[in-house]
Amino acid sequence: MNEALPRPLLTRPRSLLVSALLLGVAVLPIAQAQAATTLTLPQAVASALTAGATVRDAQAGAVSASSTLKAVQADPSTLAAALLTAQQANTLAQANLSQARLTAVQNAVNAFTSLYQTQAQIDQQKLQVQVDEKNLQVAQVKLSTKNGTALDVENAQNTLASSRQALASAQAQIVVNSQKLANVIGKPGSYTAATPPTPPKVRVNTTLSTNYPTLLQDQQAVDAAALAVKLANNEFTARVTLDQAKTKLASAQSDLSTLQKTLNTTLATAQSGAEAAQASYQTAIQAEANAQATYKQDNVRYSSGTISAVQLLQSQLALKKAQYARAQALVSLWQALATLGSASGQDQTGLAQ
């Protein structure tokens, strides 16, 4: 998960001191790291699909509905309405299972990437603390040489305290996020997240699956109402029964139309969100590359004596912040793809295998 940084090109006697200052401490506490298992994103999703409660419960429902349908079909006395009900229940159960898989993918992606982002935050925050410690030292030296004020020292102390608190909060959140991931994948333990792979490109104009459970359910209501109209449209059924069936059919059709509009609106929002996340990720990649180039230039400038060790440390922090911003953009893109998959009823991550 840690980002590799170029080794400073130091040639002067103070290189050992500066190298120590520039060392990016970006791992979890040793005791926790030794006990934690490192997972990749595909591994986390695969575990959620096989061991997670979301899919397991949906599978049980699908098996039960399939068994019921077989029993109804085997019974020669089954009437048309009862057969349709069993068929619809089985179809809906299979759709629920497919949607449960997408939900499991989304939950796993969210839990995994949240853990990864917190790790990246700690990586950056540790270097931030290091920079703030150095800034405090500088402020104290300036005060002692009457080149600075007590207020400068106080401000530096406050900044350092704030950075240390932010680091402590992120380190505490690691434990919480690790537990959330364990719950989602159905495997107790302590985990660290490897850097997620490059996400697939966002598909343009994603369509809504016809097997989207709520949509399918409303369509089934229309089909059942249409069957009721057909069965009531005869000379031995009271006209009021037929009229009631027609009214119920019209209501079901209206509900279906309203739901389709709602789902398409949700899908359009998820689509635009995924496209925006993809654009932001590309921007963050370029910003990181620019920060990397600047840091390399500053290494050369330091070795030639044109900038100080403190300035070089600041340059390293700028690079670390760019790397964290890229990690955040990567997380946002993966989560947006998972959201788009759930909204469309079709996997967009390539992980729901």
DSSP bridge pairs for 192: 38
Residue 209's pLDDT band, with cuts at 50, 70 and 90, is very high
Residue 31, pLDDT above cutoff 60:
no
Q: What is the mean pLDDT of residues 55-76?
A: 94
The model's pLDDT over 34-59, given as tens digits with 9 standing for 90+, comes to 578 999 999 999 999 999 888 999 99
Mean pLDDT, range 250-265, rounded to an integer: 96
Express each pLDDT in 306-323 by its tens digit: 999 999 999 999 999 999
Region at 285 (left for phi over 0; alpha for psi -120 to 50; beta for the rest):
alpha
Cα–Cα nearest to 134, from 327, 312, 325:
312
Mean pLDDT along residues 181-195: 95
* Percentage of the chain exceeding pLDDT 70: 90
Confidence of residue 2 (pLDDT cuts 50, 70, 90): very low
Rounded to 10 deg, the angle between the 239-303 and 213-232 helix axes is 170
State in Å, rounded, how far the first CA of the chain is from the last one: 25
Alpha-carbon distances, residue 296 vs 5, 166, 204, 302, 319 (angstroms): 10, 28, 38, 10, 10
In angstroms, the CA 52 to CA 54 distance is 6
Is the predicted pLDDT of residue 303 greater than 50, yes or no?
Answer: yes
Q: What percent of the chain has pLDDT over 90?
A: 85
Residue with tokens 């434990």: 175
Token pair belonging to 351: 């992980």
Right CATH for 32-195 from 3.30.1020.10, 1.10.3470.10, 1.20.1600.10, 1.10.10.10: 1.20.1600.10
CA distance 270 to 348: 11
Look at residue 123 and tell me whether its pLDDT is greater than 50. Answer: yes
How much is the average pLDDT of 178-187?
95
Please give the structure tokens belonging to residue 212. 């989207």
Task: Give pLDDT, residue 81.
Answer: 87
Pick from 268, 259, 257, 273: which is nearest to 206 by CA? 268
How far is Cα 5 from Cα 297, in angstroms, rounded to an integer? 13
120 CB neighbour count, 10 Å cutoff: 26
Residue 4's pLDDT band, with cuts at 50, 70 and 90, is very low
Q: What angle do CA 339, 341, 342 make, to 5 degrees?
A: 65
Global pTM reads: 0.84
Report the pLDDT averaged over residues 277-281.
98
Does 348 score more than 80 pLDDT?
Answer: yes
Q: How far is CA 29 from the centre of its chain?
A: 24
